[in-house]
Chains A and B, each alone.
Chain A
Amino acid sequence: MSEIESRGYVRPEVLVSTEWVANHLNDPGIRIIESNEDPLLYATGHVPGAVEVDWTRDLNDPVRRDYLGRDGFEALMRRIGVTKDTTVVFYGDRNNWWATYAFWVFQLFGHDKAKIMDGGRIKWANEGRPLDKQTPSYPASDYKAAERDDKRIRAFRDQVLQHLEAKKPLVDVRSPDEYSGKKLHMPEYPNEGALRGGHIPGAASVPWAKAVNPDDGTFKTAEELRALYEGDAKIKPGDDVIVYCRIGERSSHTWFVLTHLLGFDKVRNYDGSWTEWGNLVGVPIER
């Protein structure tokens, strides 16, 4: 049994170790993808053979606050040489925060042959593994994408309002100060991107990074994660849960943990998150 399998996850196969990635660098059935919070990082060196999928340039609509559509996803997959049979392995900086965000977007299009490299970029680098500055190029594939399906794992504003009115569980994964709406600065200092501070009424506070071990960025064991979410947040695998943060990026990390590591079967990411809710006319907040 591998170390990852020994942690007790419901779907341990969704996580791979740095060692596994090192052993599959030349596997034609694998495409390694780096997705970072910092847009300059990939160019400083990356896992050999890894392509970059940049959130802004590759996954977002250039005009609407929305993700790319079927045509855009298809073009992306063809460009990075991914077929329906390719397993994509995501990794990145900041405890794989943006890697799980890219993983989540790929799930909107149903490409479920996807994994995350546990520990992300920093674990790979700290283990002294090679970093390559060369940008690889792969022969274009003939990938045919499905239409984007937002119903399963994505929540929108009106759904969130119905959810809270039905007193269903919400998890706010921002920092405690963001959750409480505490202003750290004098009024003339920059705000957090919203007119109002606080959280969606009824939301439990579980900062996203509590799901990883701070020393190496690996995910905590299933037992530790259950204590966090089923203990602190009082949610359980059969619940209908909505997670959110500020823009939906950190909450996709929590969506990944709940869905794939703990086996929750109905978790949706509210990507409008606090930048939408905190500026929205007509919705309640709590402090």
Chain B
Amino acid sequence: MAVPDKLTDTLETLEMVPDRSERIQLLIDIAGRFEEVPPRLARRPFAAEHQVPACESEAYVFTEPRPDGTLDFHFAVENPQGISAKAMAVILGDALSGAPSEQVAEVSQDIVYQVFGRELSMGKSMGLMSMVGMVAAMAKKQAEAKGA
């Protein structure tokens, strides 16, 4: 299954920055673009079924269907210092919103290492991979509903 084009482009851009300090600064800048899920979709307290398991930054994932049957992905990150979670949310939201659900459903959790490098703690890896996994699971549900 093909990887969504925008995700491929994003990952290639990040891989062109091998210097760790520069990569960190790029991710911090990306996190700075984070916008929380709009109130028309979700308000606090956010429903538990939208919370990303294993994510210590208390992240949430929401979807909004587009007319063409694809999904927009929106996020909330309750930890005010959850910069990594916000960066991942921006990357996922930008790259996967509007992409074919069948492709999003197959996105590998390993993209976390392509974004952050291998030097991630076990806990941080699990949380970020869990966010990717949740996005993929939501897309899979959408794809199956379309196919039904």
Contacts and interface: CB of A to CB of B under 8 A. Distances in A.
Given A190-B129, A246-B123, A37 B28 contact: no
If over half of B's interface residues share one DSSP class (helix, strand or loop), that class is named, otherwise mixed; here it is helix
A94 B31 contact: no
B53 A56 contact: no
Contact of B123 (A43, A54, A184, A247): A247
Interface stretch (B67-75, B90-98, B113-121): B113-121
Given A38-B57, A41-B83, A246-B123, A188 B137 contact: yes
Contact of B25 (A43, A56, A57): A43
B56 to A, nearest CB: 6
Interface residues of B, number: 37
A259 interface: no
B19 interface: no
Nearest to A97: B56
A121 B81 contact: yes
Interface residues of A, number: 30
A93 B56 CA distance: 12
A44 B123 contact: no
Interface of B: 21, 24-25, 27-28, 31, 48-49, 51-54, 56-57, 79-85, 87, 116, 119-124, 126, 129-130, 133-134, 137, 140-141
Interface of A: 36-41, 43-44, 54-57, 65, 93-94, 121-122, 184-186, 188-193, 246-247, 249, 275
